[in-house]
Amino acid sequence: MKGGIFQLPRAIAEGMIAQAQAGWPEEICGLLAADGTGRVVEWLPVPNVAADKQITYRMAPMHQLLAFERMDEEGWTLAAIYHSHPQSAAYPSPKDRHDAFDPYDGVPLYPGTPYLILSLADRDAPAIRAFLLPTRDEVVEMRVEIV
């Protein structure tokens, strides 16, 4: 299964990288919003409230809700969920894959939504990769195009 292409505007990619660098050595997270044509138009940082922010993320529930409310107000849709890996490769960890699914019934929390991971393992050359997680055991990479 091929994942297709995820187009990410350069200004948003640069904003995400700046957010990750400012948050280093902790993981940062947030949402990407798309307009009616599917074009990514905004990145919405959400504070990480995980107990150990250096190895995982948990979006602050109220801030995540506010981000979704803003998307609704603007007529945007969820384009992607993103977070950083400050020390490791841009690839979904077992915890990343687990957390993308409802713990009670195993249903994807955001079906068909790409997960972007920004790696700062090489701080001079940040990497952004996109993945679909159709099941907890299946990882489908999308090609990221910076436009």
Closest C-alpha among 97, 93, 75, 77 to residue 85: 93
Task: Find the domain containing 17 and state its range.
Answer: 5-141
Say if CB 89 and CB 119 are below 8 A apart: yes
pLDDT 10s digits, 40-88? 999 999 999 999 999 999 999 999 999 999 999 999 999 999 999 999 9
- Residue closest to 27 by CA, chosen among 61, 51, 55: 55
Name the DSSP class of 116: E
Task: Extract the tokens encoding 105.
Answer: 């019934």
Confidence (pTM): 0.95
Does residue 103 lie within any of the structural domains? yes
Residue 96: which H helix or E strand, with range? Answer: helix 94-99
Residue 63: give its domain's CATH number.
3.40.140.10
Task: Give the model confidence (pLDDT) of 3-21 as tens digits.
Answer: 799 999 999 999 999 999 9
25 within some domain = yes
Asked if residue 146 is part of any domain, the answer here is no
Dist CA 147 CA 132 (whole Å): 20
Give the count of domains, the chain: 1
What is the Cα–Cα distance from 49 to 130, expressed in whole angstroms? 23
Average pLDDT over residues 23-46: 97
Structure tokens at 127: 């990497």
Q: Residue 76 falls within a domain, yes or no?
A: yes
pLDDT digits (tens, 9 = 90+) for 124-147: 999 999 999 999 899 999 999 999
Which of 147, 74, 144, 71 has its CA nearest to residue 114?
144
Nearest to 55 by CA among 103, 94, 16, 110: 94
> Domain for residue 131, yes or no?
yes
DSSP state of 84: E
